[in-house]
Amino acid sequence: MTRPTAAQGEADRQLGPLGERLDAASPGKPNARPGPPLWLLAELTYRCPLHCAFCFNPVDFATVDQELSTESWLRVLREARALGSVQVGFSGGEPMLRDDLETLVAEAHRLGYYTNLLTSGVGLTAERAEALQRAGLDHVQLSFQDSTREANDFLSHTRTFELKRRVAGLIKQHDWPMVLNCVIHRLNIDYIDKIIDMALELGAEYIELANTQFYSWAEVNRDRLMPTRAQVERAERVAADYRERYRGRIRIIFVVPDYHGARPKKCMNGWGQVFLTVTPDGTALPCHTARMLPGADFPHVDAMSVADIWYASEGFDRYRGTAWMKGACVDCPEQSRDLGGCRCQAYMLTGDPAATDPVCDKSPERRLIDAVVARAEAADAHSLAARPLVFRDPKASLALAAEPDGSFTPAAKPSARTPESSSS
Amino acid sequence: MSGTADGGRPVESGSARLEDVPLASVPAVARPFRLQFEQAQDAWVLLYPEGMVKLNGPGGAILSHCDGQADVVSIIASLQETFGRDDLADDVRGFLAVALGNGWITLA
């Protein structure tokens, strides 16, 4: 008997919720067979009652009206579970808007998944909570995403707070663990102490202070949402202080935003290594936003089995391992630690999806990040007010989708876009 | 014992001590963790909201005995029989202390 050990999963939910180690799959070796898609994110719908300015659904979501059938979802659940998926997240949009949610949760539970519901709480009535518990739901992540319209009086947005309190009560009543998720940005980062206080008051086990990642709608609104360095540093201190004071009562997750770091994050724990997203229309993606990348279309779950999607499709193999790397990543001693960072970020900022993530200070394009951060530092109330937030809704989506340089299908050189053109 | 994650990331074991796990105590997997054997990984895993802890063989063997019925003495006896050893008491209690420190188990 060797010493018992455990590879502790890292609660790095933003980048790839499972902190599973990947050595067995040797992501550094191009031909190594990856492990199973441990995390299945089922984006059931793009429909949503909210209008968050940082939503990670594609900017042109309103051009997609097809939704996968119940039967197809059930088949995806079975096929992914057979490959070894253990976590399933039912997400959206607002997943409560699918009236087959209970059916899908029940089948996922029967198959042995740990089932997670990622909801704003809108539509989570006592009756549906009861039905979801009967279906075997394991956990509810409740988001505070609808607060930005009221950013200045974040916590006095009474209607929202009352809804969250009611839903938090339901979560407790059904004995589900509760994760509160609050997307953090320039307009609310100074209130994270109040946000943590609220999480404590509601009895949450985890509070995830998810710094905005600048994709999709958040990219459209980037200059308005980007915090200053001083804001980030203060928030880090506050989070650390609360973490110390409330150890054992609540877990506080605060990940420093990309743009303010010097090294890129190991995006999704590696391309095609643990994470499989299925979009509302049935497209399988290695991450939420990968559909923005140039190249062949990603596979559809009605046209290819999940096993073939994971192990035999070009899309999921495209940036696996290190063979695709170029520039600063080639021969970099840290290449297997961060796998070159985020492909979408590289593409959005440099126009080249195989470039080193410009967040890396070894990237020749780091100046692009520095310029954005510098603009955030220089912005004052007047300049921010002059550029209002673009809220996610179908009308804005159709308008942005019609723009030749809309975020979802960036022009060949998206970095050439002026900040005004993406947020006006 | 110093529980070290396979990747060199330390498991929170700084304060783990054998005496935290009395021989007469009865361990059980704690909420919100769920222990299950995963064929695809050939390993026991602990699942929790949006996360997973993968256990190695001995870790999984120990936690799979934490059923809220058996006390630590009988868990040690059972594992020693399974592994054909008579010197596992400290390793088992040490790992249970790490598990306790991480909130994976409770003791009754």
pLDDT digits (tens, 9 = 90+) for B56-76: 989 999 999 999 999 999 999
Select the residue of B5, B41, B79 nearest A8 (Cβ to Cβ). B5
Residue closest to A177 by CA, chosen among A212, A209, A133, A125: A133
Is A82 buried (19+), middle (13-18) or exposed (0-12) by CB count in 10 A? Answer: middle
Q: A389 to chain B nearest CA, in Å?
A: 31
Sheet of strand B34-38, all strands in order from the earlier edge strand to the far edge: A6-7, B51-55, B43-48, B34-38
pLDDT at A17: 31
CA atoms within 13 A on the CB side of A302: 12
Question: Got the DSSP string for A93-156?
Answer: S-GGG-TTHHHHHHHHHHHTPEEEEEE-STT--HHHHHHHHHHT--EEEEE-GGGGGGGGGGGG
Task: Quote the Cα angle for A113-A117-A122, to 5°.
Answer: 160
- pLDDT tens per residue across span B76-101: 999 999 999 999 999 999 999 999 99
So what's the pLDDT on residue A210? 86
Measure the CA dihedral B35/B38/B44/B49, to 10°.
-40
Nearest CA-CA partner of A114 in A56, A177, A63: A177
- Decide: A5 and B5 in contact? Cβ < 8 Å: yes
| Pairwise CA distance, residues A378 & A372, whole Å | 10
Task: Decide if A20 and B39 are in contact by the 8 Å CB cutoff.
Answer: no
> For tokens 């059980």, what's the residue?
B28
* CA distances from residue A114 to A290, A400, B62, B81 in whole angstroms, order as listed: 25, 37, 22, 32
Residue A32 confidence (pLDDT) = 67
Nearest partner of B60 among B80, B38, B89, judged by Cα? B38
pTM: 0.86
The distance of A412 to chain B (nearest Cα, Å) reads 36
| B102 token code pair | 């991480």
* 3-state secondary structure (DSSP) of residue A251: strand
- Residues composing chain A: 424
Q: What is the pLDDT along chain A (424 residues), one digit of tens a residue?
A: 444 444 333 322 222 233 333 333 334 444 468 899 999 999 999 998 888 888 888 888 888 888 999 999 999 999 999 999 999 999 999 999 999 999 999 999 999 999 999 998 989 999 999 999 999 999 999 987 654 445 544 444 456 677 888 999 999 999 999 999 988 988 889 888 988 988 898 899 999 998 888 888 888 888 888 999 999 999 999 999 999 999 889 999 987 788 888 889 888 889 999 999 999 999 999 998 999 999 989 999 999 999 999 999 999 999 999 999 998 999 999 998 999 999 999 999 999 999 999 999 999 999 999 998 998 888 887 887 777 888 888 888 888 888 755 444 433 333 333 333 333 3
The answer to whether A61 touches A74, Cβ cutoff 8 Å, is no
pLDDT of amino acid A163: 82
Residues of chain A neighbouring B36 (CB-CB closer than 8 A): 112
Helix (H) or strand (E) holding A306: helix A306-312
Predicted local distance difference test score (pLDDT) of residue A414: 39
Please list every residue in chain B whose beta carbon sits closer than 8 Å to the beta carbon of residue A307.
Answer: none
Q: Name which of A9, A84, A175 is nearest B53 (Cβ-Cβ).
A: A9
State the sign of the Cα–Cα–Cα–Cα dihedral A401, A403, A404, A410: negative
Please answer yes or no on whether B48 and A6 come within 8 Å at the CB atom. Answer: no
Instruction: Say yes or no for a CB contact (<8 Å) between A141 and B58.
Output: no
Cis status, amide bond into A257, omega within 30 of 0: no
Quote the ipTM score: 0.84
Tell me which amino acid residue A375 is. R
Q: How far apart are CA A392 and CA B93, in angstroms?
A: 53
Chain B residues in contact with A38 by the CB 8 A cut-off are 52
- Residue-wise pLDDT for B32-57, tens only, equals 899 999 999 999 999 999 889 999 98
* Confidence (pLDDT) at A413: 37
Mutate to test the interface with B, among A2, A114, A175 (most CBs of B within 10 A): A114
Q: What is the pLDDT of residue A228?
A: 92
pLDDT for the residue B17: 86
Chain B residues with CB under 8 Å of A243 CB are none
Alpha-carbon A21 to chain mean position? 20
Measured between beta carbons, the chain B residues lying within 8 angstroms of A11 are 50-51
A99 vs B12, which has greater pLDDT?
A: A99
**pLDDT at residue A63, rounded to an integer:** 87
Chain A residue with CA closest to B2: the answer is A5
Question: Per the omega criterion (within 30 degrees of 0), is the bond before A327 cis?
Answer: no
